[in-house]
Structure 1
Amino acid sequence: MTASAVATTAARSVPRGLVPASFVLGGTVVSLVGLTWDIQWHTDVGPDTFFTLPHLFLYSGSAISGIASLIVVLMTTAAERRGKAVDPMVGGRAVSVFGRTFAAPVGYLISGAGAASFLLYGLWDQWWHGLYGFDAVIASPPHIGLLLSISITMVGAVMVFSVARNERWGLYGTIGGAAVLLTFSMVTVLGLQALPRGIVNSVNVGVAFLSVMILIMGGRALNRRGGALTVAVVVAAIQAVFWWFSPWATEVYANATGLPLRDYTDGVPALPAMIPMCLVIVGVAVELLHKLPAPIVGAVGGLIVTACAPLQHVLVYDGSWPRSATSYVATVVLGTLFGALAGLLGRRFGQMLRHLAPAKETSHA
């Protein structure tokens, strides 16, 4: 039997291709929908309990990704115990877990680990609601843990698809997974609000760092012209859809449950407004400067995001330009420096994604 025939036979022992990967990515999309809905609920309505429809979207999305990851891990383990080699194109090379008790493709291992930690933080969140009742804000300790857990699952989804980036479904999935991860990451940046206030807007710097890093990572993982720009365009599309969906779903659910909207709501969708509207410009800059060192490319991206952030605030919230020029300049300078770091890390992470399945690339050489 030839090597290709062996790989084909082994691949049948575990689910491969679009089906299991789409469940993992689909679960993260469901969680993202629940998140934008939940944030808008906190903004327009206020307190909530553990069992709300937005929360159920968050929980079910993580459950879908986790169950799909668990099934792949169990089937991979069974295949290896029968002495069958597992195709590394199924979520990456299989690694031993718990003293070789399980064999898990690395992409599904990461997505499953995020879903498992989400379960633990979900139990903590239920206890938290039972102890304190309503949540007045989204930034409670168990919520931060839940957000980080979902982020880990999203990283696993990107890994699963990037292994098969030479396939059409792998290419689209990598772009979609990176876009979902970038959109979701804008919420985790809110944790920087806990830092002592100074002349620097730490949230804007954090937004620049994560958005530039994920854009460059996606472009490098795909290793083709237009990769980073395509991720930015998909993020813009998600932003546009959520701009309509978030307030609409919140109002419909509030009316269904008999709860009034707050009188002082400004009508601005909370999560979509956190996403930089200049990301397409950043994507164009990344594509044009792709031959330059990654820190320089990242620095340009960080500069664009932090420089445009006050303008976005003025346009969206009808606010005013920062009164302190010192604060604005300091934020832009720090955003540029962190952008340089984001460029370096994004390039490295993208390269790591490309090395998840080196055997596949070698076979095409």
Structure 2
Amino acid sequence: MAVTTPAERAGTTGRRGLAPALSVLIGALSSLIGLSWDVQWHIDVGPDTFFTLPHLFIYAGSAVTGLTALTVVLRATADERAGRELDPAVGGRAVGVFGRTFAAPVAYLVTGTSAAVFLVYGLWDQWWHGIYGFDATIDSPPHIGLLLSVSTTIIGSLMTFAVARRERWGRAGVFLAVAMLVAFCTITSLAFNGANQGIHLVDISIAFTTVMLVLTATSFFRTPGAALLTAVTVAGLQVVLWVFTPWATRTYADSVGLPVRDYVEGVPAMPNLIPMSLLGVALAVEGALLLGRRANWSARVVAPVLGAVGALVITALAPVQRLVTRGFPLAGFDYIALTCGVAALAGLLAGFLGWRFGLMLRALVPTEEEAR
């Protein structure tokens, strides 16, 4: 009788978990690319229908993630009913659904549920287009639901890779999923567009989510360089979207015979919302954490402080980024100062939550005994 070593068993687990995790990641990436493309289409061209190519990218992404999650859940359910031990390294520990009718690995339960909810909001969006025609704004009720659903899908993708933290591909997937969340949440933050009264709530929201996610990755890995590598991944994704989005918009407009508007600036909207100051903030986080380790500072204290400082810096430099890239004039000093003050307070919560979320992701990782 052949005896497998722990290394061989780990390799088998890695191969089992890689395919569905990669499928979910590709689906989420398709939705992210489709969203950036769709936003630019509305700005540069305007007219669309429910079945435009950018929309199909978004919906195909959710279809891929939903079908992948369904396949994993059905396979896990079949294994459990056959008396086979479920592998917690594939999507995490299984939880019972509908009175244990199904056994669903927790990461794929999140992914599958969000994909199903996305379908509901998609039907609502189709109805909305039929009643009101073209969308004049991105923050319509069905759009907000769609955006939140895709955000949750990306969170599910992050969980599938976090479970495989011991694998190289698992660690790489965590960085990419976090970067995708940072990029995607910039558009979700536009839901506050109509509430920018006295303070710039969109800038505050973007700073909050960005800092929280960077500290989530830092807390999860607990190794020097995690914050900086997260920022580098975000910057790489930003460059890709910056190049692809305007090119795809113009190419698609030419292919369907629609003109591009005369006042198009050439600066892609969604990639320009991603904070370019994040690399500097990540370097500051790395330095502060290095000092904290040497001085034995408590992470419970350091994380909120880092969140406050990071959110303050990102919010303060957001108007500068718009000035440099798009020529937007700076707002008054009082407006920027008040916005930065609120952002710093929100950053305290972002730092606290980010560190806690990192600990929650670590809890998904199977123990050495479970991995065997």
Interval of TM-score (by shorter of Structure 1 and Structure 2): over 0.9
Query: What's 1:216 paired with?
Result: 215
Structure 2 counterpart of 1:312: 321
Determine what percentage of the aligned residue pairs are the same residue.
Answer: 52
> 1:57: how far off?
0.1
CA distance in structure 2 between the aligned counterparts of 1:3 and 1:348, rounded to whole angstroms: 40
1: CA distance, partners of 2:3 / 2:55:
47
- Contact 1:162–1:222 (8 Å) recurs in 2: no
- Whichever residue aligns with residue 253 of structure 1, its letter is Y
Does 2:176 correspond to 1:176?
yes
Q: SS at the partner of 1:99? A: coil
User: Aligned in 2, Cα 1:363/1:138: closer, same or farther, shift over 3 Å?
Assistant: closer
**Mind listing any 5+ residue stretches in structure 1 that lack a counterpart?**
none
Question: Who is 2:307 aligned against?
Answer: 298
Aligned pairs for 1:129-208 (under 5 A) are: 129-195=129-195, 197-208=196-207
- The count of residues paired between Structure 1 and Structure 2 equals 362
Match in the other structure for 1:258: 257
Alignment deviations for residues 88-126 of structure 1 (CA, whole Å, 9 cap, x no partner) = 111111011111111111111111111111111111111
Q: How big is each residue's C-alpha offset from its partner over 1:321-344, in whole Å with a ceiling of 9 and x where there is no partner?
A: 22x211111111111111111110
- Is 1:246 matched with 2:245? yes
Structure 1's 258 and 295: CA in aligned 2 closer, same or farther, altered over 3 A? same
Instruction: Sort the Cα spacing of 1:303 and 1:3 in 2 relative to 1 into closer, same or farther, 3 A.
Output: farther
In 2, the alpha carbon distance for the partners of 1:129 and 1:73 equals 34
Report the 3-state secondary structure (helix = DSSP H, G, I; strand = E; otherwise coil) of the residue aligned with 2:367: helix
> Displacement, 1:47?
2.9
Aligned 8 A contact 2:309 2:347 in 1: yes
Q: Secondary structure at the match of 1:95?
A: strand
Q: Taking structure 1 as reference, are residues 243 and 309 closer, same or farther at Cα in structure 2, changes over 3 Å only?
A: same
**Counterpart residue identity of residue 252, structure 1:** T
Amino acid at match of 1:244: V
Select 1:331's aligned residue among 339, 346, 364.
339
Contact 1:163 1:357 in 2 (8 A): yes
Letter in 1 for 2:32: L
Partner amino acid, structure 1, of 2:284: A
Q: 1:67 is matched with which residue? A: 67
Give how far 1:134 is off: 2.0
> Residue 10 of structure 2 contacts residue 371 of structure 2 at CA under 8 Å; is this kept in 1?
no
Compared with structure 1, are the counterparts of its residues 257 and 88 closer, same or farther at alpha carbon in structure 2 (3 Å cutoff)? same
Map 1:4-15; keep pairs closer than 5 Å: none
Q: CA-atom RMSD, angstroms? A: 2.4
Map 1:29-178 onto structure 2 (within 5 A): 29-178=29-178
- Displacement of 1:360: 3.5
| Residue 318 of structure 1, CA deviation | 1.2
Q: CA deviation at 1:165?
A: 1.0
Determine the structure 2 residue equivalent to 1:346.
354
Cα separation, 1, equivalents of 2:7 and 2:140: 48
Structure 2: unaligned runs, 5 residues or longer: none
